[in-house]
Each structure stands twice: as C-alpha cells, then as structure tokens.
C-alpha cells in the first residue's frame, strides 16, 4: 500500500466516526437509541437494509465462485432473489407489533419461556455473526494490502471505529452511517470492472478465452439445480423472519410503507451489485490465463484483481469500501444486542421498574460488552464461511416458530418449541447418518435441511393440535394489533384504532386458515391494495434484474 492509500483509509475512518458521533446528539431516549424514534425516511431505510445485509466476504466469495464456475454461480447470492417480494408482505408484522425486539413479539405470541429461549438464540446469533464478519473482512483487507497489516489488527481497528459512534448514537448513527457506507459498497462492487475489461480486452476476448458455459445464466452442473435453489429460498424466507435484527430493518421507518420499501428495495440493490461481483470474477478468470498465473484459492480472485488493476489511492478506496461493508452491519448488530439484553433480560428479570435513562444506559453498556465477545470470537475463528452457514441455518429452524405463529392462530408454545428443537436435532442426526462424523458445523446440503424443516413444520402442526391452545384473549390481542395500523401510522388525530383494511393495508400473510373463508376475499381490492400492488411491483423488479443479467451475457457475441 502506498502513502496515499493509507491517507484514504484514515480519512474514511475519521470521517465516518465523526459523522456518527455528530448524529449521536439525537439519541437521548431509549426509543431513539434502539429504534431511531421510528422516524427514518424510506431512503435511509433502504441504505440500512442494504448496508446491514451486505458483508465484506460476500463480494469476495461470489467473485471466487464466478472465477471457478462462471456467471451461473450468481445464484449462490441470488438464492434470496425469488423471496425478496415477500419482504413487502412481512414488513408490517414488525411495525404493528409496536415492540423493540423480536423476542418481545415471541413472548407476546407464545409466552415468557419462548421469549427467553429466543433471546438466548438471538444474542448468540449476533455474537457469532459479528465475529465471523469481522474476521472475514480482516482477512480480505490483509490480502488486498499485500500483508502490510495483520488481520487481527484490522479487527481491532474496525471494532473501535464502529463501537464509538454506535455506543453514543445508537440506531440513529448506525442507520445514517449505513446510508453513506452503502454508497461505498456500490463503488466497491463496480470499482474493478472498467480497468479489468480494459486489461483483458473486453467481453469479446473474455468469451473467446473462457468456456462457453461460463456465460450461462443458469447451470445445474454447479450443484445449483431447482431443488438446491428451492431449499436455499426456503432457508431464506423462513430464516429471515427470525433473524433478530429484522425488527430494526422493517419497523423503524416514519411510515409502514417506508419499512416495506426500505427492506424490499434495499435488498434489490444488493441483488443488482451482485452482478458486479460476478463480472469481476470472470475478468480475473481471463486475467490469470493471460498472465500465466495460478491462484491457490478461488476466493483470492478479488484480492488479486485489487492488487493487479488498481492505481495508488484506489486500493485505499477499495479497503475503505470493505471496511464500510462490515462496519455498517456490525454497528446495527451492536445496537440490537443492547436492545435484546436490556428489554428481554435486564428489565423483565432484574429491574422491572427501570426508568428510560436506566434502560438507555444499560442498552449502551450491554451492547458494548457483548460486542467485545464477538471480537474475541473473531480473533479465534478459523472458518468464516462455516460460521455463517451455521448461524443462518439455526435462524431458519427458529423461523418455524416465528413464521408459523403469524400464519396460524392455532399454533401454540408446545408445537413451536417442539418444532424448533426437533428440526435442530434432526439436522444433526441426518448429517451424522450421512457422514458418520459428529461435528458442530456440516457442509450445507439441501436434503438434510429439507428433511429437518419438513419434520419441524409437521410436528409444529401436530403438537399444536393435540395440546391446549394459547389463551384466547392473548391471541386475540396479538392478532388485533396485526389487523390495525401502528399508532404512529394512525390517520385519526384522536389516536383511535383504525382497521388497516379501511386504509387499504390489510395483510395477506396473516392466519392462513382464514384464506379459505368467503369473508377473507370480501372487498379484496380495497382491503389488500397495499399488499398486492407492492407484491406485484416487486416481482416486476425480479424480472428486470434477471433480464439485465441476460442482456449482459449477450455482450461480446
């Protein structure tokens, strides 16, 4: 790295920390600290969703996959493309709950024990995933810098930076800095392409030197057949409902629609920049052929491109972008950790009469301490990819309880907890039967996951039917919230509850059995206008992204 590269990196770190600290003056209450006062505009929500959902290891892993397998490997990242429209339908659940954490929602739906179990899962989820992300980014930056700094030093530097502004500014600082950092991630995604295309001779040369199947939009030969994609999509749509930071993604906008737009279209931006990661991988595949170079690991493709193609200053910009990709996610997770510990452990079990300022202070402190645990995990972790797969699969099993509880009013705590634990145990038993080895993290395969989810959902239904139902008053209170706009969205100046259907915002994904009643379809166009119009429009964007990818693959023919 040259002196100008270091200057760029230092300017970025100082700038983003200063901006975050400047924003911290707004975080004076617990609600403002944990949820930004639920006042974010739709563009801030988009930046938050994109920044939190995009990590530094993603472009590196995707470029490596394209380097060795071609364009069709995009489906490793596009596995959630086909479920993104459903985010539009699910977003109101979290806002209408009027809760700070998903653990509180689980407690409202199933009771205190289920809420506590979810809280323990959520804290572990954040600690593991933060540690994995920090070490993943650190390894990438260490390679891109030519080894001039150690990965552990980068972990510490990143952590100090995002902890500073997250501790003082909460979600307000996290969300607004994520918008800025999201722009840097977009730069990262396309930064290497112009110089790369010029270096290798453009798309026409790429086509002449790479195998023809490298330019297929879809290829079952890579192991990404219909069943694999279906299982990955199932993993995504069930798991996303239980990932503990989703409430801050869906429910912190100034309106319900802002939450829908933010999460849905923030993720469409992520699907768009994935195309840039794939093209980078194809460029490196040609580059190494032309230069007679061999890469020991396909995931070195991104770092090799950075060292080969970027001029002084641009390498520093690339590293700043990689820092942004992870700091944006970790800052959000730190705030959510504080919210989980404070709202779901400290207040209900130790200090029920805590004042707002006590809650705010405990949220800051607990988020800081638990983040340090993530750093310790980061300094010891060996396999970044395996840690991510483990946490995402665990979230999918927990999602049986969360998603099932929204789709079916008869679901109860006995069915929910049985389903979660049985799915988890089944996953390990099936993998052990196939490999003969008992280990914490297995290579992810669609069949063991699919069987585990089938067993989990089956028991979820059966056990719920043969055991006592939840208290009718509690269930009705929970679903009444879902049938009404949140207080912040009430159009009535007197604050009286207004049925969501009267505003054209009743929810389709609510209580599956009622879908088969005549009442559900009465005045459908008016009651579900927001749901079905947004859902159809989102599918239009799915089609546009696939069409864009197809058009790019025609270049150079």
For residue 386, pLDDT beyond 70: no
- Token pair in block for residue 228: 């694999």
542 is a domain residue: no
Is residue 95 very low, low, confident or very high in pLDDT (cuts 50, 70, 90)? very high
Q: What is the pLDDT of residue 503?
A: 65
The mean pLDDT of 90-114, rounded to a whole number, is 93
**Is pLDDT larger for residue 61 or for residue 411?**
411
> Residue 154: pLDDT above 80?
no
* Domain assignment of residue 228, yes or no: yes
98: in domain = yes
Instruction: Give the separation between CA 403 and CA 83, rounded to whole angstroms.
Output: 14
Q: Is 495 left (phi over 0), alpha (psi -120 to 50) or beta?
A: left
Is the pLDDT at 384 greater than 60? The verdict is no
| Mean pLDDT (whole number) for 493-497 | 57
| 511 Ramachandran zone, left/alpha/beta (phi>0; psi -120 to 50) | left
For the CA atoms of the chain, what is the radius of gyration?
Answer: 23
Residues of the chain with pLDDT > 70, as a percent, come to: 90
User: For 207-216, what is each residue's pLDDT tens digit?
Assistant: 999 999 899 9
CA-to-CA distance for 214 and 79, rounded, in angstroms? 19
Task: Please state which of the ranges 7-11, 133-137, 359-363 shows the lowest mean pLDDT.
Answer: 133-137
For residue 524, is it within any domain? no
Which letter, b or e, does each residue of 17-29 get, where b requires 16 or more Cβ atoms within 10 Å of its Cβ? Answer: bebbeebbebbee
Q: Is residue 372 part of a domain?
A: yes
CA 391/CA 549 separation, integer angstroms:
30
Q: Please check whether residue 412 lies inside any domain of the structure.
A: no
Computed over every residue of the chain, the mean pLDDT equals 85
Q: Mean pLDDT across the stretch 464-488?
A: 90
- CB-neighbour burial class of residue 336 (10 A; exposed 0-12, middle 13-18, buried 19+): buried
Within a domain: 457: no
Q: How confident is the model at residue 433, as a pLDDT?
A: 92
Output 457 or 176, whichever has higher pLDDT. 457
Domain count, the chain: 1
* Domain at 362, CATH number: 1.20.1730.10
Q: Is the pLDDT of residue 182 over 80?
A: no
Mean pLDDT calculated for residue range 20-38? 77
Instruction: Give Cβ neighbours of residue 57 (< 8 Å, ≥ 6 apart).
Output: 133, 136, 137, 140, 384, 385, 388
Tell me if 460 is assigned to some domain: no
Best mean pLDDT range from 276-290, 315-329, 345-359: 276-290
160-174, 450-464, 534-548: which has the minimum mean pLDDT? 160-174
Enter the pTM of the model: 0.87
Going by pLDDT thresholds of 50, 70 and 90, the confidence category of residue 16 is confident
CB atoms within 10 A of CB 478: 18
| Band (249; pLDDT cuts 50, 70, 90) | confident
The residue range of the domain holding 310 is 3-389
| Alpha carbons 107 and 119: distance in angstroms, whole number | 10
CA torsion sign for 142, 326, 129, 443 is negative
The pLDDT of residue 180 is 75
Query: Tens digit of pLDDT for each residue in 201-241?
Result: 999 999 999 999 899 998 877 777 788 888 888 988 999 99
DSSP character for 345? Answer: I
**pLDDT at site 316:** 80
Percentage above 90 pLDDT, the chain: 37
Least confidently predicted of 97-111, 210-224, 322-336, 508-522: 322-336
């Amino acid at each position: 790295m040259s002196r100008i590269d270091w200057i760029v990196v230092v300017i970025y770190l100082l700038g983003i920390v200063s901006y975050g600290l400047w924003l911290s003056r707004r975080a004076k209450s617990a609600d403002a600290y944990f949820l930004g006062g639920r006042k974010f505009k739709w563009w801030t929500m988009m930046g938050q969703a994109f920044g939190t959902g995009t990590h530094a290891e993603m472009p590196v892993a995707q470029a490596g996959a394209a380097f060795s397998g071609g364009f069709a490997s995009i489906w490793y990242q596009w596995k959630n493309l086909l479920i993104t429209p459903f985010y539009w339908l699910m977003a109101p659940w979290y806002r209408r709950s009027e809760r700070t954490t998903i653990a509180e929602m689980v407690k409202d739906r199933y009771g205190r024990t289920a809420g506590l179990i979810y809280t323990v899962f959520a804290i572990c989820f954040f600690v593991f995933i933060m540690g994995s992300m920090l070490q993943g980014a650190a390894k990438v930056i260490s390679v891109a810098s030519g080894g001039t700094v150690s990965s552990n030093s980068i972990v510490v530097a990143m952590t100090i930076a995002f902890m500073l502004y997250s501790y003082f500014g909460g979600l307000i600082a996290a969300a607004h800095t994520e918008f800025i950092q999201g722009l840097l991630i977009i730069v990262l995604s396309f930064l290497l392409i112009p110089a790369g295309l010029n270096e290798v001779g453009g798309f026409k040369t790429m086509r002449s030197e790479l195998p023809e199947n490298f330019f297929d939009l879809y290829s079952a030969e890579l192991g990404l057949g219909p069943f694999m994609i279906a299982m990955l999509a199932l993993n995504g749509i069930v798991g996303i409902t239980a990932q503990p930071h989703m409430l801050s993604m869906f429910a912190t906008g100034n309106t319900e629609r802002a939450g829908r737009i933010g999460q849905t279209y923030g993720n469409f931006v992520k699907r768009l920049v994935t195309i840039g990661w794939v093209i980078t991988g194809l460029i490196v595949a040609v580059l190494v052929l032309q230069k007679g170079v061999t890469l020991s690991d396909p995931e070195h493709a991104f770092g090799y491109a950075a060292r080969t193609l970027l001029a002084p200053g641009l390498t520093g910009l690339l590293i700043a972008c990689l820092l942004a990709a992870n700091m944006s996610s970790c800052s959000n997770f730190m705030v959510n950790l504080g919210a989980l510990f404070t709202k779901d452990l400290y207040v209900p079990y130790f200090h029920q009469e805590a004042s707002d300022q006590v809650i705010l202070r405990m949220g800051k402190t607990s988020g800081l301490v638990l983040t340090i645990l993530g750093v310790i995990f980061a300094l010891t972790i060996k396999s970044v990819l395996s840690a991510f797969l483990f946490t995402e699969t665990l979230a999918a099993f927990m999602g049986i309880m969360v998603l099932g509880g929204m789709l079916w009013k008869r679901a109860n705590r006995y069915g929910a907890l049985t389903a979660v634990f049985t799915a988890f145990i089944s996953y390990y038993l099936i993998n052990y039967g196939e490999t003969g080895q008992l280990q914490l993290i297995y290579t992810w395969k669609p069949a063991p996951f699919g069987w585990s989810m089938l067993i989990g959902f089956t028991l979820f239904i059966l056990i719920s039917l043969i055991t006592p139902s939840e208290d009718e008053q509690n269930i009705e209170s929970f679903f009444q919230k879902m049938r009404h706009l949140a207080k912040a969205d009430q159009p009535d100046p007197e604050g009286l509850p207004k049925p969501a259907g009267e505003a054209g915002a009743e929810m389709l994904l609510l209580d599956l059995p009622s879908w088969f009643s005549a009442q559900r379809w009465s005045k459908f166009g008016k009651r579900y206008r927001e749901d079905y119009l947004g859902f159809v429009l989102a599918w239009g964007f799915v089609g546009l992204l696939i069409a864009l990818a197809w058009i790019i693959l025609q270049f150079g023919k």
